[in-house]
Amino acid sequence: MKNYSTIGSRTFTILNYLFLSLAAFACLLPLINVLAVSFSSKSAAAAGYVNLWPVEFTLDSYVYALKKQEFLTAFLVSIKRIGLGYIINMVLTVFIAYPLAKEKSEFSARNIYAWFFIVTMLFGGGLIPTYMVVRYTGLIDSIWALIIPNAVPVFNVILLMNFFRGLPKEIEEAAYIDGCDYWRTLFKIVLPLSLPSIATLSLFVLVGHWNGWFDGLIYMNSTSKWPLQSYLRSIIINSDTMMSASDELATMRNVSNRTFNAAQVFLAAVPVLAVYPFLQKYFMKGLVMGSVKG
Amino acid sequence: MISGKKLRQLPLHIMVIPGVILTLIYHYIPMFGIVMAFQKFVPAKGFFKSKWVGFDNFEYMLNLPNIKTVIYNTVFISIMKIIVGLVVPVVFALLLNEMRREKYKRTLQTIIYFPHFLSWVILGGILVDVLSPSSGIINKMLGLVGIDPIFFLGDSKWFPFTMVITNVWKNFGYDTIVYLAALTSIDMALYEAAYVDGAGRWKQTLHVTLPGILPIVTLMTVLSLGNILNAGFDQVINLYSPQVYSTGDILDTLVYRIGLVEAQYSVATAVGLFKSVISLVLILVSNKLANKYAGYRIF
């Protein structure tokens, strides 16, 4: 029971609501501002008139972005990457998590496999040796370079494994008695029971692949094979467009591209915005499942 | 009997094997590829035929003029991130927990953890725009209260703090939810007992709520110690520029530039190995501590 009747307590409640609302608004402010810029005219943006609402509303920047060949190509690469990457990540996650969820008495190699995967979370070869292996296995300039090296998302495997372990054992035992083998049990019993958890992981994987940019940058020599985020990085965040205060030319270029860049940034954020409501629904569960497990 | 048991386990092995093979190739072979750090590595000769040079690359690394600065920057930025990234989410969780309107509370949560799902490329594009000294909205707002434009991303004095603040902006919503979840699991009877004993809202927070989330706060902090050499590659590489190298260059960005931009593969691997070994020790120690004091286990 909490006491809300004193004056001090009421004042606190009001200030608390005020403060948290302002803080949340401050979090959104940069996004709103850039969104407004993307819908404004070039001259208004360059003159710095745009705050939270578009000035001289126009869709020019979006039209220009969607007509630009490089943007569309990169968008398609990203779609392809998500499709392939999602299937491979999820299949491997399920196929590894299920056996690892077994007790050692049932699957005697369980701990060996588990440590085999855990070790990769603790130590790695680092950037250059990994790059060399990708190169030696002939993946440079292939879409598979964005998918295969991280085909096993170990963190997700652990989340799903913990979820499987939480399922009542009697259900699986009943299935064995009825003559199901491990494959049938996995597909007919365990997976249908795990849909919420699969949904959480799906969203993690989809967002992860959509947001990936570094592998595209280093593994793709030809820029036409870059996924969207790598392409965006190259046009928006390049050290030469990061104008220094003295660099007139760079400043000019950046300002004239301002609305166009803003539009591309938002087009790249749209898919995340679109899945966010679903993400939001499952996320709480997934996050709690991952961080405060018993 | 034994062979029957083995046979029965066969499908389980078959399920794991593809993942094992891929992990072996793309995670374990690179670990052995670390031998590059002790070679003068030439890609055409590969891991086996490149010339051995012993510790030359490490010597070269220690003689790099900026190595001390880079290590300092890395540790400075990440410790600041750990501290701010601990305080802000705990405060927000406590304040959100005092809100009674569930719907409004959930709306605020949704807003504050949205940036977490955007990549540093997208956030970088947004930040370069809003932090611009000439046309960015942040400096425009500072101008209203009479503060001269600050070049947040281009001034080496400001850059590390810009990293800390923008990192909190992206991630605090996520951590806030972890702490909120811990808060909701506190037994309501404790609050009732405190109330009966005459504790007001502030005293309840101090004596019930804070002790209630202390274990998870400790756990998260201890675990973050393992990341002290990870100052945020994705973020820094998208926001830094040569004029802020003196305070903003970190180990990971140095490895990237030496290795993939300048193609000095062996030196970059040596720097990377130096970092991974220290990180490994830190992770093991922090997990040990987490296990001892909070009963935490990796799996």
Contact A12 B201 (CB under 8 A): yes
Question: Would you call A258 an interface residue with chain B, using a CB distance cutoff of 8 Å?
Answer: yes
ipTM of the complex: 0.87
Helix (H) or strand (E) holding B40: strand B39-40
Does residue B299 form part of some domain? no
| Whether residue B202 sits in one domain with residue B133 | yes
Q: What is the pLDDT of residue B184?
A: 82
Same domain as B47, residue B83: no
Q: What is the pLDDT of residue A285?
A: 60
Domain final position from B37, B54, B71: B54
Tell me the CA distances in angstroms from B205 to A2, B151, B178, one per residue in order: 11, 40, 18
Assess whether B22 and B148 both reside in one domain. no
Q: Which pLDDT belongs to residue A294?
A: 34
Q: What is the CATH number of domain A65-291?
A: 1.10.3720.10
Instruction: Please give the mean pLDDT across all residues of chain A.
Output: 86
Does B17 share its domain with B124? no
Q: Does the residue B138 lie in any domain?
A: yes
Does B124 share its domain with B38?
A: no
Q: Which of residues 236-255 of B touch A (CB under 8 A)?
A: 238-243, 252, 255
Q: Are residues B43 and B73 in the same domain?
A: no
The pTM of this model reads 0.89
What is the structure's pLDDT at A204? 87
CATH number at B151 reads 1.10.3720.10
Q: What is the pLDDT of residue A276?
A: 80
Residues B275, B71: contact at Cβ < 8 Å? no
Note down pLDDT in tens along chain B; length 299 residues: 456 777 888 999 999 999 999 999 999 999 999 999 999 999 888 888 889 999 999 999 999 999 999 999 999 999 999 999 999 999 999 999 888 888 898 889 889 988 999 999 999 999 998 998 888 899 999 999 999 999 999 999 999 999 999 999 999 998 898 888 888 888 888 888 888 888 888 888 888 888 888 888 888 888 888 889 999 999 999 999 898 999 999 999 999 999 989 999 999 999 999 999 999 999 889 888 888 877 776 54
**Measured between CB atoms, does B134 come within 8 Å of chain A?**
yes
Phi, psi of B52 (to 5 degrees): -80, 135
Q: How many CB atoms lie within 10 A of CB B239?
A: 24
Q: Is residue B175 located within the same domain as residue B41?
A: no
Do residue B71 and residue B168 come from a single domain? yes
Does residue B71 sit in the same domain as residue B47?
A: no
B245 is a domain residue: yes
Total count of domains within chain B? 2
Average pLDDT value for residue range A168-174: 86
In a domain, B218, yes or no: yes
Q: Is B165 on the interface with A (CB under 8 A)?
A: no
Residue A43 touches partner B, C-beta closer than 8 Å: no
Read off the pLDDT of residues A223-239 as tens digits, 9 standing for 90 and up: 899 999 999 998 877 64
Q: What percent of chain A has pLDDT over 90?
A: 51
What is the average pLDDT across A201-223? 92
The shortest CB-CB distance from B16 to any of A96, A218, A233 is to A96
Do both B32 and B107 map to the same domain? no
Residue numbers of the domain that contains B268 = 57-294
Query: Within this chain, do residues B264 and B155 fall inside the same structural domain, yes or no?
Result: yes
Residue ranges matching CATH 1.10.3720.10 in chain A: 65-291
Q: Per the CB < 8 Å rule, is A128 touching B140?
A: no
Judged by CB atoms closer than 8 Å, whether chains meet at A114 and B299 is answered as yes
Question: Are B73 and B38 in a shared domain?
Answer: no
How far apart CA B81 and CA B73 sit, in angstroms, is 12
Residues of chain A numbered 187-246 and touching chain B (CB < 8 Å): 207, 210-214, 218, 229-230, 232-233, 236-237, 239, 242-245
| Interface residue A73 vs chain B (CB under 8 A) | no
pLDDT digits (tens, 9 = 90+) for A97-140: 999 999 999 999 999 999 999 999 888 888 999 999 999 999 99
In angstroms, the CA A198 to CA A194 distance is 6
